[in-house]
């Protein structure tokens, strides 16, 4: 949860991302979570994360034939259940979010951006017949 007045999300970065993570989920990965690591260097004050995937469909359980991919984030403090490193989970509701020391896109948590290995948590809720090709882009201090 964020504290204080809510402010609008910063505009999307116009520069190339600092990290690009890609992969594919097959049908055998449906409803199984995957932690995707990426390194954050020292001196970062803000992260902006955007993700995309093919054949997007709504999370409505009656829909099929495409993909619904959920996303969350853990910081360098760990990925264990109930870890202090949990920064938030937006499911498939947000395709981009920002975290900085003083503010975060709801429902993510603001806080210091420490150097170390962070993890995007991806949850392929639905995987269509062609598989789910995904891309996560990360910007530092956009």
Residue 62: what pLDDT? 87
Mean pLDDT of the residues in the chain: 92
Prediction pTM value? 0.88
Strand partners, 20: 137
Domain ranges of the chain: 19-140
Nearest to 92 by CA among 117, 130, 121: 121
Q: What is the pLDDT of residues 36-89, one digit of tens each?
A: 999 999 999 999 999 999 999 999 988 899 999 999 999 999 998 889 999 999
Q: Are 136 and 36 in contact (CB under 8 A)?
A: yes
CATH class of 19-140: mainly beta
């Amino acid at each position: 949860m964020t504290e204080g007045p809510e402010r609008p999300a910063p505009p999307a970065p116009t520069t190339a991302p600092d990290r690009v993570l890609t992969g594919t989920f097959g049908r055998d990965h449906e409803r199984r979570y995957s932690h995707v690591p990426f390194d954050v260097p020292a001196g970062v004050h803000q992260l902006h994360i955007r993700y995309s995937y093919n054949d997007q469909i709504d999370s409505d359980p009656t829909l099929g034939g495409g993909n619904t991919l959920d996303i969350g984030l853990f910081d360098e403090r760990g990925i264990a259940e109930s870890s202090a490193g949990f920064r938030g989970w937006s499911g498939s509701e947000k395709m981009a979010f920002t975290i900085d020391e003083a503010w975060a896109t709801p429902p993510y948590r603001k806080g210091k951006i420490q150097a170390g290995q962070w993890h995007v948590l991806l949850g392929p809720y639905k995987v269509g017949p062609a598989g789910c090709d995904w891309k996560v882009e990360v910007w530092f201090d956009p």
